Amino acid sequence: MGLKSNINKEVFFVLLAYILMCYRCYFYIGLQKYMVLMAFLSLLLFLYMTFIGKEYMFNKKFKIESMIIVSIILTYLFSVFRDNLTLPSRYIHYLSIFVLFYLYKKRPSLSTIENVLVVSAVIYLFCWLFQIYKMPEIVFGDPDGLNVGNDDRGFYRFYIETKEHLPFLVFYFLALYNRLSKSIYLIIAFVLMFVVILHVGRQMIFGTIIFSFVYYFYSNNHKLFNNIYFYLSIVLFSFIISNYSQAFLSIIDLTLHDDGINEASLDNIRISAMLYYISDNCKSIDTFLFGNGLPDIGSDLYNFLKTIDYTKGYILADIGYVALFWSIGFMGLILYGILFYNSLFKQKVSAKYIYLKFYLAYILVSYIGSHSLTSNLIFVYLVLYIIKYDSLLENNKPIIHRVIKV
């Protein structure tokens, strides 16, 4: 047990350190002078995990994951030919899929990876609370970003890295309630739902509400009494929100009416942006298949995107799958589609981890009009790891290494 415990501890701390370094400790203003160091450390951790798990890259069980890596590398190479300022470090979030091979080699318990997901979301939550306390001073991220610090939606708006991962805690505590039947977990889930609403992001809010409720009903359709209790909780929660949350009312109003930023609604702008970037990506066979790549500050690609943003208001981060297509091309889009389809519909998991599929569905659906997927790929990869290996264990299929299931 000592060896297994040491492996779990190593994997936990390596993954958590990698996440913190990748996201530069959420760009906290007090750590600005260490950004280059954190970038270097994230690269070292990435190379370490890649070296440990390299032998599984082309294994037949992981052919889709391997094909994604090849596709991303081709995207990078084509982008270098067009814009020699592109650096490979820009692709580290996509290439973090190498983490899967590292995990396959180390064989940690599935609960260890789950703990990494939980702790990462809790760290973000504390950062968010600290930012609220420091308002109107912005201490995380870009203080000059669009709409940063305003409250036109009924609550402060700002962006801290990994924001879209926060709803994981809602699903996690609902799963604990389903498993242990302790009301405290349901109360915590509702409190966290309220925190999600205070983030005033429409895709994030409605995606979380819809999929968390569907998950609860799916998991408890045989418990009539609990469902009645849950229905009453929804009524009470809705009453509180509708009567006391100006933020929620403002979001509803913005969803149904023009937000006043442009003559067309935000949704129409996104549709126009989608059509524009789709047509832009079909000008040559290489951009269609492998995309335009990821821009570095000062590169031609970066300047192009800034110009389109300034002249047309078309923000690449707001168009989800079209942005993915524009960046990594048709091949990358299709391969990711296959990977997610297999995880959601082909791989059967135990009741303990069903909630991960609903979390993944929330990420994928909210990505239609946001950047929830590409901003949180490392968390998605960890979820895919748990789903895949729990599925193999549930179905008694042979695996390369037996994973300790806790």
**Tokens 């297994």 map to which residue?**
4
pLDDT surpasses 50 at 402: no
HEC assignment per residue over 9-32 = HHHHHHHHHHHHHHCHHHHEHHHH
* Residue 62, pLDDT score: 87
User: Three-class SS of residue 265?
Assistant: coil
**pLDDT tier, 313 (very low <50, low <70, confident <90, very high otherwise):** confident
User: Residues near 382 by Cβ (< 8 Å), separated by ≥ 6?
Assistant: 15, 99, 113, 116, 117
**Tokens 């000592």 map to which residue?**
2
User: Three-class SS of residue 139?
Assistant: coil
Q: Tokens representing 289?
A: 């298949």
CA distance 173 to 208: 13
- Cis peptide leading into 136, omega within 30 of 0? yes
Helix axes 202-220, 168-180, angle to 10 degrees: 10
Each residue's pLDDT tens digit, 8-52: 999 999 999 999 999 999 999 999 999 999 999 999 999 999 999
pLDDT surpasses 80 at 363: yes
Task: Enter the pTM of the model.
Answer: 0.86
In the chain, % helix, strand, coil (3-state, to 5) comes to 75, 0, 25
CA distance 148 to 158: 5
User: Residues near 88 by Cβ (< 8 Å), separated by ≥ 6?
Assistant: 76
How many residues are there in the chain?
A: 406
Residue 383: closest CA among 49, 107, 97, 60: 97
Q: Are 351 and 401 in contact (CB under 8 A)?
A: no
Radius of gyration of the chain from its Cα atoms, rounded to whole angstroms:
21
* Residue 266, pLDDT score: 55
Q: Tokens representing 248?
A: 């929620």
User: Residues near 91 by Cβ (< 8 Å), separated by ≥ 6?
Assistant: 72, 75, 76, 294
* Residue 102, pLDDT score: 95
Distances (CA, A) of 216 to 136, 277, 341, 359: 37, 38, 22, 12
Q: Are 374 and 93 in contact (CB under 8 A)?
A: yes
User: Residues near 45 by Cβ (< 8 Å), separated by ≥ 6?
Assistant: 14, 17, 18, 21
The residue type found at 308 is: I
Torsion over CA: 184, 186, 187, 193 (sign): positive
Helix (H) or strand (E) run with residue 7 in it = helix 2-22
Q: What is the mean pLDDT of the chain?
A: 83
The residue type found at 26 is: Y
Question: Phi then psi for 375, rounded to 5 degrees?
Answer: -80, -15
Tell me the range of 2-6, 181-185, 235-239 where mean pLDDT is highest. Answer: 181-185
Each residue's pLDDT tens digit, 218-265: 887 655 455 555 555 555 555 554 444 444 445 445 444 444 444 345
